[in-house]
Every structure is written in structure tokens, then in C-alpha cells.
Amino acid sequence: MKFEISTDPKRMQIDVIHVFLRQSYWARGISRERLAVAMEHSLCFGAAVWERRS
């Protein structure tokens, strides 16, 4: 299993992040536009887990 952490905004999937956040209790209903602005003005970290399939 390989873990990868990135701060590259081009690697962030804003649509996936938006679906998750708009359902969370701390950002319920956040618009995609507001999220995009927030991400532009923030240092965002993304994490991925890669599993090798045999």
C-alpha cells in the first residue's frame, strides 16, 4: 500500500470534495463557488491511498 500527500491544487478533485463537504455538519450546503474561492485562498492538502491489485 502506498500513501501520497499533495498540495498541488491541480490534483484536487473539487467536485468530489464539494460532494463530501456539502453533506458535512461543518460546511453543510456550501456552494461549489464558495468552496472554489476558499480553496484558492488556502493551503489545501490531499491524500491518496494506492493499493496494488494482483
Please report the pLDDT score of residue 54 as a whole number.
67
- Quickly state the pLDDT bin for 15 (edges 50, 70, 90): very high
Please report the pLDDT score of residue 1 as a whole number.
87
Mean pLDDT of all residues in 2-19: 95
Chain mean position to CA 43: 11
Give pLDDT tens digits for 18-54. 999 999 999 999 999 999 999 999 999 999 998 877 6
CATH of the structural domain 2-50, one choice from 3.40.47.10, 3.60.15.10, 3.40.630.30, 2.30.42.10: 3.40.630.30
A 10 A CB-CB count for 2 gives 8
Please state the pTM of the whole predicted model.
0.79
For the chain, give every domain's residue range: 2-50
